[in-house]
Structure 1
Amino acid sequence: MASSRNLKLILLSLLIIVGVSSYFLYNSNNYKMLSKREINDFIEDKRKSNLSILKEDNIKSKPNPHALILYKDNTKLGTYILTKSRQGIEEHKGIEVPIDKTLPIQVTGALSGVPYLGIYITNNKLIQEGKYIEMEFEDGTKVRKNISLDQKGYILSEKTPPEIPRESVQVSVKKDSQVLYTNEY
């Protein structure tokens, strides 16, 4: 009798645990990775509204998959962040900055959450001579991308939220160990 009662309590406990777990899994906004086609459809839609897409990056990290899209129009530079959940694809507009072609590079992005920068290089000398563009945080963490002669837009991103919030970032264009341009944001 006692073992039958214990077995019933164990089964009831397991049923409650499975039920609660299922509820939270079903109701959570678990983000899913975006397909290349979903990103391309979004980009095509934005191009119809006269936006120039400079770069896209599909961040496939497990906890926070999302896509970053760097764009410009005649007057501003900005980003879109795309996420995909059970409810569908959501677009979030990032920070827009006015385009100032007198600056050698322009930067937009966010340091909170998963830090990312959208970078638009307007100085042709930096594009021709630079080997890579890099963002470096105060703790020494670096993210870098190679510079291509036919590309002016770059997205630099950490893949997961950092343990300590980011307060500033230094952006540099480098040729091997030589710094061609640097600025703190």
Structure 2
Amino acid sequence: MTTWFTSDLHFGHARLLELSPVRGAAFTTVAEMNEGLIANWNSVVAAEDTVWVLGDFDMHGKAASLALLPRLKGTKILVSGNHDACWAGVRDGWKHRSRYLEAGFAAVMDFAVTKLPPLGPEASATRVLLSHFPYAGDSHDEDRHAQFRLRDEGVPLLHGHVHEAFRERRTSEGTWGINVGVDHWGFCPVSAETLARHLAELSRADG
């Protein structure tokens, strides 16, 4: 069994093809984008795997987009983002969590803590935080939703939200964050093993 991470699929978001040069270059229509994201997901994820979706599964929990969820392999866990109808920053967002659970998410939460696998027999697992939002940075000119961002206390962070703005960034405190959004990972989920290696490489590069 493999654990995967992804974010910012934005199923059904037609305008994103205009707003995002990366997305627009990859897909011509929203239907093509939806089908491409599903095919890419299922090409790497097995039925027994777990996939953490770090927010923005679609745009505001539309029925047509949530109906795509059962076509995606694996056990899916949602860490809600600002475009999900169940996000804590949306008025009465909690009332929509049942819709996401009924659609096929095994759990819905605002943030989580997990571990990336050890890279060798003598190595230890790496503790990471999971949130839709990075410690700092945005796809816009200013950081939005500051009150929903986790405090940087030195724990590496896996996140989404910033689309193609950056794939990884170190905070002023020296903590690495990695953007698992599909725009930086071939429109596919990225495995925990890949992220563990990448985080180790970033740490080594720090000297």
Task: Provide TM-score, normalisation by structure 1.
Answer: 0.25
* Higher strand proportion: 1
Instruction: Kindly name which structure, 1 or 2, has the bigger radius of gyration based on alpha carbons.
Output: 1
The structure showing larger relative contact order (alpha-carbon pairs under 8 Å, at least 6 residues apart) is: 2
* Higher helix proportion: 2
Task: Provide TM-score, normalisation by structure 2.
Answer: 0.23
